[in-house]
Amino acid sequence: MDEILRFLLTTPPQPGTLGSLEEWWRQHLELASRFQSPVDLALAGGFRADRLGFAFASGYHAALRSLFTGMPKDHRAALCATEAGSAHPSAIQTRLIGGDGGGPLRLSGSKGFVTLGTAADTLFVVATEGLDEQGRNRLRVVMIDAHREGVHLNVLPETPFVPEVPHAELQLTDVKVSPDEVLPGDGYTRYLKPFRTVEDCHVHAALLGWLLQVGRRSGWPERVQDEVLAVAVMIRGLALADPSSPAVHVALGGALDLCQRLVKSLEEWWPQVDAPTRERWARDKALLGVAGKARAKRREAARQRLEGGTNE
């Protein structure tokens, strides 16, 4: 931990001017060569970002790196789950078929909202192999090249906040898949379900790294900077814990509540910040409210699992 703390506290708080996603990625790769832990990479990436959008990109990508440990480190990646406005397991209709008798595997379907989609080199696609005995989707995650034949990514309009982060629709038409591209384990319990916890940890770590940089270069009181750092350390600890644990998820809910209150308490200091950063923050802070209802439901479900004495 000492290395990332020293980085956050002693690195000159002057972010590079990141005029494009390519410039963000070059900086992210440079930091990835220094910080092996994905959550430390998220903190450092947020600190070096010149705006919330690129901090979010570092946090999102670090979350993928944490969950999919075998992904190429120099590839931009995207998780492809959402269909018909939902990433619930029952909503997944993208199909992984074939493979019987040595035949080829094929992937077909569509995804409605893929973060970093048009910028991705590698796609992690959540697909169904059919229904199990209880009538539930049997999900797998398939890692494929984003430029493979049959893969089509169509850019979506910019979102009203963090417009620097692209999103896309994905169409998969009879895409060839090799057996070693189908990741081991259940697609829901091993990947999709824990990703929400992993993403919350890493994206908020990046946010806090960015806020600390803003505070340091804008002359916020040291006690305020220390509070930002303290919450960042708490989030870092949860990011290193088991994301499938309901106890971890409940604790994360409390940590995110503290983070939300911290962000509100910082409002009095924003007039000291330079105008471009302040104006982008006014536009982009709506990002922090995205998926709040779903997050609350997951927190309540985690509490119920704890009360029932189970991790399932």
Per-residue model confidence as pLDDT tens digits over 117-133 = 999 999 999 999 998 88
Give the start-end residues of each E strand in 146-245: 151-155, 167-177
Distance of alpha carbon 50 from the chain centroid:
19
State which of 153, 182, 211 marks the end of a domain: 182
pLDDT of residue 85: 67
Q: Are residues 203 and 62 in the same domain?
A: yes
pLDDT of residue 274: 96
**Cα–Cα distance measured from residue 139 to residue 127, given in angstroms and rounded to the nearest whole number:** 6
pLDDT of residue 297: 84
Write out the residue range of the structural domain in which residue 284 sits.
2-67+190-307
Q: Which residue has the tokens 């019987």?
A: 100
State which of 161, 182, 203 marks the end of a domain: 182
Bridge partners (DSSP) listed for residue 10: none
In a domain, 312, yes or no: no
Number of H helices, E strands in the chain: 9, 7
**Cα–Cα distance measured from residue 274 to residue 163, given in angstroms and rounded to the nearest whole number:** 20
Within a 10 A sphere around the Cβ of 104, how many other Cβ atoms? 12
**Cα–Cα distance measured from residue 252 to residue 72, given in angstroms and rounded to the nearest whole number:** 28
pLDDT of residue 309: 67
**Cα–Cα distance measured from residue 210 to residue 45, given in angstroms and rounded to the nearest whole number:** 8
Q: Are residues 106 and 38 in the same domain?
A: no
Low-confidence stretches of the chain (pLDDT beneath 50): none
In a domain, 89, yes or no: yes
pLDDT of residue 272: 97
For the chain, how far is it from start to end, CA to CA, in angstroms? 31
* Cα torsion 217, 219, 223, 227: sign: negative
Note the pTM of the prediction, 2 decimals. Answer: 0.94
Beta carbons of 7 and 20 less than 8 angstroms apart: no
Q: How many domains does the chain have?
A: 2
Q: Are residues 202 and 289 in the same domain?
A: yes
Q: Are residues 82 and 20 in the same domain?
A: no
